[in-house]
Amino acid sequence: MAAILECVPNISEGRDLEKVEKILDEVRNTKGVKLLDYSSDKDHNRSVITFLGEPEAVIEAAYKLTKKATELIDMTTHTGGHPRMGAVDVIPLIPIKDITIEEAVELSKKLGEKIGSECNMHVTLYESSASAPHRTNLADVRRGQYEGMEEKIKEEKWIPDYGPQQFNVNAGIVAVGARPPLVAYNINLATSDVKIAKNIANVIRAAKGGFVYCKAMGLLIEETGKAQVSMNLVNPDFTTIFRVFDTVEREAARYGVAVTDSEIVGLVPMKTLIDTAIYHLKLDNFSMDQVLETRIWE
Amino acid sequence: MAAILECVPNISEGRDLEKVEKILDEVRNTKGVKLLDYSSDKDHNRSVITFLGEPEAVIEAAYKLTKKATELIDMTTHTGGHPRMGAVDVIPLIPIKDITIEEAVELSKKLGEKIGSECNMHVTLYESSASAPHRTNLADVRRGQYEGMEEKIKEEKWIPDYGPQQFNVNAGIVAVGARPPLVAYNINLATSDVKIAKNIANVIRAAKGGFVYCKAMGLLIEETGKAQVSMNLVNPDFTTIFRVFDTVEREAARYGVAVTDSEIVGLVPMKTLIDTAIYHLKLDNFSMDQVLETRIWE
């Protein structure tokens, strides 16, 4: 099978589903690309779209989706609970198979340049594609949101990588960048004491000296009354899900609290889970080629 | 993707590789089938062949392989260390995707009937396809080996399910049957005391009251000097690899011995390893659809 690149654009429309469908059609109508999933959130007024396929085809679909979004979405009238800075807010490119992160970075720059020149929209490269270390983190790039962007991008350190002379108030700014597969992962505790979840989150998150590729927070899930350690594992090949789980379980035990269960939100690479089995079964010499399905699908 | 059936025929030729290649060509030249693997053993004078594909195509390839094997292999002159009873000794059919074990049983009977009528060779159904409980286990069906078969099949309980009036001394008998995916799994101990491995094997094997779908034995691996619990997990969806591992580790600890590592021999279904991750991460509501690769390959 050929190389596979995944793309998960977030667009700033989650209420007018006719518009969302028109934008989705740009992906559906691109050959060599498969639309995997999409979901719209009314409160956030935002939709998350997941598709993948041949790298060049994915770039083409991402460009056409952005072009259509800038035609249909007007940021001057946008309201919603989720931080955002553009009609298409962020376009992550994720190498899945037979493509390196470096190759994905090159494609993200090609896509950014095309959006900047043909969609009359500013583009800031982020994550592995960032043109400077302080532009790596999406939260930093987006701080100030849409309303503050016209001023923010006048600062030397926040000048977009691509785009028009004039800030396009209707389109805003999009962050484009390559990043490793991200796993959204939640661990639930047998307690309603959210302080314990927050303390544990501070133990495992990179920002507090924990695992390098772990972003985590503690919260209380109202429906279950359970405190939860909610995290993104932004490079699960290096910060492994099984070590994070064991660490959370050990830290929770320190408070006399058990882990009741955990949940992966959305998709997860096969390797992330098989690495967990390799660890617990001590399969020291296991090769991914031994997974039957990889032989069928190769 | 369409339904997938796997077939792992064992043929009684492991020395004359030109003959083996001619037999392999029958699989290579069947449309809709993929030859995954094959290995020949000179001492056993036996070759194990693995292929899979669309169920009907797999049956066609298995028939053509058997036809060619009966033309090239003469059991009257066969010698080898491994128990055997025919030119093709056994043809397991393993449901891999979108096909039930019951459907695989139906196909195994169709294949047996065709071999019996067109290859002048006796066929005994075994495993899930067996026509009686005492004919389920291959070791029982094959007991007496090729040399004793002409007499054995005169007994009421061992009359073959398909085949000619006369026993074909050149072809012998083949066992054909559907069975769940089998995982060949070895657990190595930090001891050279083979008695400990044998004792643990007797704890986990079905024959001694252990796990229903576990066949196990204890042996000493000369190269490493480690005692090993060697097993076949013949239905890993029910007798799970992670519980067997934990049981062996606990039993070994009872002798003050640690598990150093384990190894899966050959191929393993993705689900067997992901079930292990689900167990250790307490992923109570995980769905296989969340595995990214299944979305690409569906």
Mutate which of A267, A296, A297 to test chain B, going by most B C-beta atoms within 10 A? Answer: A296
Range name among A36-50, A161-175, A248-262, B48-62 with the lowest pLDDT average: A36-50
Decide: B49 and B27 in contact? Cβ < 8 Å.
yes
| Contacting residues for B253 by C-beta, under 8 A, at least 6 apart | none
The pLDDT, as a whole number, for residue B2 is: 80
Strands B88-97 and B173-178: parallel
User: CB–CB of A290 and B266 under 8 A?
Assistant: yes
Nearest CA of chain A to the CA of B187: how many Å?
Answer: 9
Q: Is B173 helix (H, G, I), strand (E, B) or coil?
A: strand
| Mean pLDDT along residues A116-134 | 97
User: CB–CB of A283 and B291 under 8 A?
Assistant: no
Among B6, B266, B293, whose Cβ lies nearest the Cβ of A270?
Answer: B293
Among A269, A280, A292, whose Cβ lies nearest the Cβ of B292?
Answer: A269
CA–CA gap between residue B80 and residue B243 (Å, rounded): 36
Q: And the tokens for B231?
A: 């097993």
Q: Which residues of B are catalytic?
A: 82
pLDDT-flagged residues of chain B (< 70): 1, 297-298
> Is residue A298 scored above 90 in pLDDT?
no
Give the nearest chain B residue to A241 (CA atoms): B281
Decide: A76 and A86 in contact? Cβ < 8 Å.
no
User: CB–CB of A245 and B293 under 8 A?
Assistant: no
- The residue with greater pLDDT, A266 or A258, is A258
From A137, A53, A156, select the one nearest A125 (Cα to Cα). Answer: A137
User: CB–CB of B292 and A96 under 8 A?
Assistant: yes
The pLDDT, as a whole number, for residue A296 is: 77
Phi, psi torsion values for A134, nearest 5 degrees: -70, -5
- What sign does the CA torsion over A214, A218, A221, A224 have? positive
The pLDDT, as a whole number, for residue B169 is: 97
The pLDDT, as a whole number, for residue B190 is: 98
B178 DSSP β-pair partners: B93
Residues of B in contact with A263 (CB under 8 A): 283-286
Mutate which of A223, A292, A296 to test chain B, going by most B C-beta atoms within 10 A? Answer: A292
Q: What ipTM was assigned to the predicted interfaces of this complex?
A: 0.80
A-B contacts at Cβ under 8 angstroms: 129
User: CB–CB of B293 and A297 under 8 A?
Assistant: yes
Nearest CA of chain B to the CA of A253: how many Å?
Answer: 16
Q: Is A129 helix (H, G, I), strand (E, B) or coil?
A: helix
Residues of A in contact with B6 (CB under 8 A): 292
Which pLDDT tens digit goes with each residue over B7-64? Answer: 999 999 999 999 999 999 999 999 999 999 899 999 989 999 999 999 999 999 999 9
A50 DSSP β-pair partners: A37
User: CB–CB of B286 and A263 under 8 A?
Assistant: yes
Residue corresponding to tokens 């701080």: A143
Among B96, B261, B281, whose Cβ lies nearest the Cβ of A284?
Answer: B261
Among A34, A269, A295, whose Cβ lies nearest the Cβ of B36?
Answer: A295
Q: And the tokens for A202?
A: 């501070």
Strands A33-41 and A46-53: antiparallel
User: CB–CB of A273 and B274 under 8 A?
Assistant: yes
The letter for the amino acid at B203 is: V
The pLDDT, as a whole number, for residue B297 is: 66
Q: Is A272 helix (H, G, I), strand (E, B) or coil?
A: helix
Q: Which residues of A are catalytic?
A: 82
Give the nearest chain B residue to A3 (CA atoms): B296
The pLDDT, as a whole number, for residue A18 is: 97
> Is residue A49 scored above 70 in pLDDT?
yes
B37 DSSP β-pair partners: B50
CA–CA gap between residue B272 and residue B292 (Å, rounded): 17
Cβ neighbours, 10 Å, residue A284? 11
The pLDDT, as a whole number, for residue B97 is: 86
The pLDDT, as a whole number, for residue A2 is: 80
User: CB–CB of B296 and A97 under 8 A?
Assistant: yes
Among B262, B273, B286, whose Cβ lies nearest the Cβ of A264?
Answer: B286
From A4, A7, A89, A105, select the one nearest A45 (Cα to Cα). Answer: A89
Residue corresponding to tokens 């592995």: A128
Domains by residue range for chain B, with CATH: 4-178 (3.30.990.10), 183-292 (3.30.70.670)
Decide: A36 and A7 in contact? Cβ < 8 Å.
no
> Is residue A1 scored above 70 in pLDDT?
no
Among A6, A266, A292, whose Cβ lies nearest the Cβ of B268?
Answer: A292
Rounded-to-10 torsion of CA B93, B99, B102, B104:
-20
The pLDDT, as a whole number, for residue B298 is: 58
CA–CA gap between residue A10 and residue A41 (Å, rounded): 11
CA–CA gap between residue A283 and residue A277 (Å, rounded): 8
Which pLDDT tens digit goes with each residue over A181-235? Answer: 899 999 999 999 999 999 999 999 999 999 999 999 999 999 899 999 999 999 9
Q: Calculate the average pLDDT of chain A.
A: 95
B→A contacts (Cβ < 8 Å), by residue, are 1, 4, 6, 34, 36, 52, 96-97, 181, 241-242, 245, 259-264, 266-270, 273-274, 276-278, 280-286, 290-293, 295-297
Whole-structure pTM value = 0.80
In which band, very low, low, confident or very high, does the pLDDT at A294 lie, cut at 50, 70 and 90? confident
| Mean pLDDT along residues A153-168 | 96
Give the nearest chain B residue to A54 (CA atoms): B296
Our measurement of the distance from residue B120's CA atom to the centroid of its chain's CA atoms, rounded to an integer in Å, reads 24
Give the nearest chain A residue to B189 (CA atoms): A282
User: CB–CB of B261 and A276 under 8 A?
Assistant: no
Residues of B in contact with A266 (CB under 8 A): 290
